[in-house]
């Protein structure tokens, strides 16, 4: 029982580190389902690529698919037209934009996911012709905290020592209480003895008074 109590304490100390992983639009982990055009310093789509992550963005009229394992994602993309944002086959949002905004800064995101493999896909409609511009994807990985394992062990050891100390103290107190109880019992036994002896003595004196001639 004590051992499981310590194990529970250890579990309480194990935490996860949340770490953002940024994936550039040029990453091979991002699968483009259609034609794409890359905007970068060599072939800029705008006057400047400085505002883009890794100075590149990918324009496509096809789908974008990305697998990740984590608890959140943030997509930095623009859609001109109509597109579905899908996670694990489920449509999370339907985008419908008719005017392009100036910069690719909007994060289409979702947090609070289960820490399991996910598939994010951005699926454009064929009609009207839809163009997606992707700058970067960020996902939040949930990694076990190695430092807190040490913390857990140290915490567990401290908890164990504290528990043992607690048990020792409790045992000592119990023994002390028993000793005091026994001493009190002895004391009252002595007192009873004295009382009885006194009574007997008094009775003896009275007897002596009543029987003055016996000696």
Site for ligand NAG, residues 112 to 171, rule: CB under 6 A: 119, 138, 140
Can you tell me which residue has the tokens 């992707």?
A: 134
Compute how many other C-beta atoms are within 10 angstroms of the C-beta atom of residue 189: 10
d(CA 124, CA 39): 19
99 binds ligand NAG (CB under 6 A): no
For residues 104-136, one letter each, b for 16 or more C-beta atoms within 10 angstroms of the residue's C-beta and e for the rest, the string is bebebebeebeeeebebbbbbeeeeebebbbbb
d(CA 5, CA 155): 12
Of 11, 31, 93, 190, which lies in the binding site for ligand NAG, with binding defined by CB under 6 A?
Answer: 31
Tell me the residue nearest to ligand NAG as measured from the CB: 24
Listed ranges 17-25, 44-52, 192-200, 201-209: which one lies at the site for ligand NAG (CB under 6 A) = 17-25
Listed ranges 21-29, 176-184, 197-205, 207-215: which one lies at the site for ligand NAG (CB under 6 A) = 21-29
Site for ligand NAG, residues 172 to 191, rule: CB under 6 A: none
126 preceded by cis ω (within 30°)?
no
Question: How far apart are CB 152 and ligand NAG at their closest, in Å?
Answer: 21
Please measure the distance between the N-terminal and C-terminal CA atoms of the chain and give it in whole angstroms: 74
Question: How far apart are CB 72 and ligand NAG at their closest, in Å?
Answer: 7
Half-sphere exposure of 5 (CA within 13 A, CB side): 9
Site for ligand NAG, residues 38 to 97, rule: CB under 6 A: 40, 54, 56, 65, 67, 74, 82, 96
Cα Rg of the chain (Å, integer): 41
Question: How far apart are CB 102 and ligand NAG at their closest, in Å?
Answer: 19
Contacts with ligand NAG, residue ranges (CB under 6 A): 18, 20, 24, 26-27, 31, 40, 54, 56, 65, 67, 74, 82, 96, 98, 107, 119, 138, 140
């Amino acid at each position: 029982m004590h051992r499981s109590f310590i194990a529970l304490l250890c579990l309480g100390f194990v935490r996860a580190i949340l770490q953002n992983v940024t994936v550039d639009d040029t990453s091979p982990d991002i699968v483009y389902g259609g034609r794409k055009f890359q905007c970068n310093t060599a072939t800029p789509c705008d006057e400047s690529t400085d505002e883009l992550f890794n100075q590149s963005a990918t324009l496509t009229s096809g789908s974008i698919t990305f697998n990740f394992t984590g608890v959140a994602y943030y997509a930095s993309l623009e859609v001109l037209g109509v597109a579905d944002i899908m996670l694990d086959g489920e449509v999370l949002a339907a985008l419908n934009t008719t005017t392009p905004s100036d910069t690719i800064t909007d994060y289409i995101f979702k947090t609070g996911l289960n820490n399991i493999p996910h598939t994010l896909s951005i699926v454009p409609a064929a009609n009207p012709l839809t163009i997606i511009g992707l700058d970067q994807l960020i996902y939040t990985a949930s990694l076990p905290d190695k430092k807190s394992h040490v913390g857990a062990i140290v915490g567990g050891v401290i908890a164990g020592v504290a528990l043992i100390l607690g048990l020792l103290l409790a045992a000592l107190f119990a023994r002390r209480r028993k000793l005091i109880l026994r001493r009190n019992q002895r004391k009252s036994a002595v007192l009873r003895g004295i009382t009885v002896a006194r009574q007997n003595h008094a009775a003896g004196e009275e007897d002596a008074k009543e029987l003055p001639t016996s000696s």
